[in-house]
Amino acid sequence: MSFLTMKTLHSVLGEMKEKFAHIALECEVVGLGQAPGRVLAADVVAAEQSPGFDRSCVDGYAVVSGDTFGASESVPCFLKVLPPAQMGMATKVSVGRGEAVYVPTGAQIPAGADAVVMVEYCEKLSQDTVAVLHACAPNTNIMYKGDDCGFGGLLAARGTRITPLHIGIMAAAGVTDVPVYIMPCCAIISTGDEIVGLGEPLPLGCIRDVNTHMLGAELEAYGCRVTSRRIVGDSFGEIRAEICRAVCEADIVLISGGTSVGDKDYTRAAIEAVEKDSVFAHGIALKPGKPTIVAKVGGKPVLGLPGQCVSAYIVFKMVVQPFLDSLCGISGGLPHLTAELTANVHSAPGKLTVLAVKLNYAGGKFYADPVHGKSGLISHLMASDGLILIGDRREGLTSGEIVDVVRL
């Protein structure tokens, strides 16, 4: 038998970044309606100031704040009422000492005014007199021009995945179209004599193809187009032919199965038969996920993932997704949450270990129960709420330690 020479996850991701530095995702410009969920290919700045004028935050009277100093319910100040401001129109009237203009929420503040007294604190005594029952400081209840975003101000940076809130601020700032990346298209090959497609008869000794469905769903959720999903047996020639085809049709190729060093593990040999010396990593110090292959074929990433579906899922999350993130400038951000581990767990020294946990929440605190069971059961992953990582220098974690949790 032969052995793998493992590299650390960190070094493999670094090498991938370097080997595929030539990949520049294409981009396109889409309207705001098509933008949610897409990733910005460039910084987006405000096309207009928001608001474009000084606005009232309340229904009330625009005044010179100095007039109200000392005003109270027992000693109101009396102001002369000028014609009111109208919504959606420039306010032509201006306010001087001893004067007030009614402004509905959102209307333009008249020139001369530096505060708005809420209507609740005013009493209109006649057509042209209002009593102000409350003092107000300068700038009270005014949103100034550009307060929300100034012209040219950054609204969202390259590498941002666009949420409805981004849509909101972009609309507010007059942005109609945004540049977004066109995600790479991917081909998925699931290998193994025992793998049978969904809906086909399932002979004894065979199992359903899980990986083209699960990995395909992950890629589509990311925004990638999946060009093909094929199942091939443990045949060197067929795998080689499928890789050739996939490298032609797609930007990235994922192959699951046959990535270890057994007699029938043809994936590495098939990749190298398509392009000699194309494999630059075989074996990652990651558990699960050790038998992983990374190659550069015709300049394109070809990744061999473990056939076992839980391992394939972990490798997708730990290798493929961070690689996609690096292509489109998505940066890591904060951990999802932290939790207190409720039991000692052992890990595999020398490997970064990924462990499934079930979360419990009590008294403002999260607790993470390790989910044990036979490795490779997708049902155990389903019964979990998150994943924790144990570094390769650790032999395990101790009950009571605080761990970062990646939500599933």
- Name residues contacting a copy of itself, limited to 134-163 (CB under 8 A): 143, 147-149, 155-156, 163
How far is residue 216's CA from residue 226's CA, in Å, rounded to a whole number? Answer: 6
For the beta carbon of residue 363, count every other beta carbon within 10 angstroms: 5
Smallest distance, a copy of itself to C-beta of residue 323, A: 17
Angle at 306 between CA 245 and CA 192, to 5 degrees: 60
Bridge-based pairing state of the strands 293-297 and 300-305: antiparallel
Which residues are CB-neighbours of 375 under 8 A, at least 6 positions away?
A: 288, 310
Based on its alpha-carbon atoms, the radius of gyration of the chain, rounded to whole angstroms, reads 31
Among 21, 24, 75, 89, binds a copy of itself (CB under 8 A): 89
Candidate list 52, 98, 237, 299; residue touching a copy of itself; CB under 8 A: 52
Interface pick for a copy of itself out of 57, 93, 111, 406 (rule CB under 8 A): 57
Cβ atoms of 356 and 289 closer than 8 Å: no
Pattern 209-228, a copy of itself, x by CB under 8 A: xxx-xxxxxx-xx-------
Residues 364-393 within binding reach of a copy of itself (CB under 8 A): 364-366, 374-379, 381-382, 385
Least gap, CB of 281 to a copy of itself (angstroms): 22
Paired sense of beta strands 352-362 and 293-297, if any: unpaired
Helix (H, G, I), strand (E, B) or coil at 370: strand
Per CB under 8 A, which of residues 163..202 are in contact with a copy of itself? 163-174, 176, 192-195, 198-199, 202
**Which of 2, 5, 24, 33 lies at the binding interface for a copy of itself (CB under 8 A)?**
33
Least distance from C-beta 381 to a copy of itself, angstroms?
A: 6
Looking at the Cβ atoms of 83 and 335, the one nearer to a copy of itself is 335
Q: How many residues bind a copy of itself (CB under 8 A)?
A: 101
Cβ at position 99, least distance to a copy of itself in Å: 20
What is the spatial distance between Cα 63 and Cα 117, in angstroms, rounded to a whole number?
7
- DSSP three-state, residue 245: helix
